[in-house]
Structure 1
Amino acid sequence: MRQIRRKDREMPASEAEALLVRGEYGILSTVDAHGQPYAVPLSFAYRDKRIYFHCALEGHKIENLENNPRVCFCVVGQTRVLAEQFATEYESALAFGLATEARGQERREALLWLLEKYSPGFIEEGEHYIEKLDKATKVIRIDVQQISGKARR
């Protein structure tokens, strides 16, 4: 993997990982069989150096992952445009890894982690929702191999 060019803005790995934990959404980047990049924003949960997200049973992202499980996942945290300086304060984290389908108990836990993150006041209702749409949902796990972060504060 390439090193960050601007070492003065490099975030410690622990801070980049913390941004993965608290990030509201992330951008999943994949590549199709013809080499065409594809990036899509999605909700996610991060636990134990793994990123989890749910999706439909088929579609562009699933086709790309079946062809090539190597992915990049980007999360952007706080930003602030500094118009008079022609600059922006920001924080971002990149995670590189391999995507596979989560199954069994791991799949169920991942759906609960997503529920806890995005709908903490509606756990019981969310569990019913998960049951109702269970067969129409796939859960993907990204085993993170490298994390890097960058910030201008």
Structure 2
Amino acid sequence: MFRKMRRNKQLMSQEDTVNVMDRCTNGVLACLGDDGYPYAVPLSYVYFNDKIYFHSAKAGHKIDAIIENPKVSFAVIDEDTIVSAEYTTYFRSVIAFGQARIVEGDEWQSAFTALVEKYSGDQPQANKQKEIGECSQAYLIAIDIEHITGKEAIEYVRSR
């Protein structure tokens, strides 16, 4: 169903792919938008329990697109170093494909807590709990990952 990476020597291990997902703080969600146009939007996320989670307003282009067609992709760029003398960049990136859905119940609580911990883990616990409570009016969206790959510049592969 999903294509194999053409340059498979550059395929990152599952462990390295997860590490990229854990350390990065933003990615680009791509979905099918209005009138069949692609809609790609940068957002903050957390990779938690083998899923990607992000919050969303309950109205707008992003949530409308997800409700209309839950098939999405999500891309993260971990590194992109320009190497002008070689006319290239040294990069690491990840792309995931899956189905997006609105999260509810216990999953909402644990995933939103993980999101808050990722971005505000150094804040007092009482403040974090207050913030989580105040965000109960927002949607939390999960991407149930069906396929995920990481790719890195061939120069990183050769240096090992």
Structure 2: stretches of 5+ with no match in the other structure: none
Q: How far apart, CA to CA, are the structure 1 residues paired with 2:11 and 2:135?
A: 41
Aligned amino acid, residue 125 of structure 1 = N
Summarize the alignment of residues 54-65 of structure 1 with structure 2, pairs less than 5 Å apart.
Answer: 54-65=55-66
| Offset at residue 33 of structure 1 (A) | 5.2
Amino acid at match of 1:124: A
**Distance of 2:73 and 2:42 partners within structure 1:** 12
Q: CA deviation at 1:101?
A: 0.5
For the 8 Å contact 2:116–2:132, the answer to whether it is kept is no
Distance 1:68 1:34 in 2: 12
Q: Does 1:14 align with 2:15?
A: yes
- Partner SS for 1:127: helix
List structure 1 segments (4+ residues) > 3 angstroms apart after TM superposition: none
Alignment partner of 1:149 is 2:112: no
Instruction: Report matched runs for 1:105-120 at 5 Å.
Output: 105-120=106-121
Q: How does 1:74-113 map to 2 (within 5 A)?
A: 74-113=75-114
The sequence identity of aligned pairs, in percent, is 34
Deviations 1:51-80 (A, max 9, x none): 111010111010100110001011111221
Q: TM-score, normalised by structure 1?
A: 0.93
Note the C-alpha offset of 1:111. Answer: 1.2
Deviation for aligned residue 1:26: 1.1
Q: TM-score, normalization: structure 2?
A: 0.89
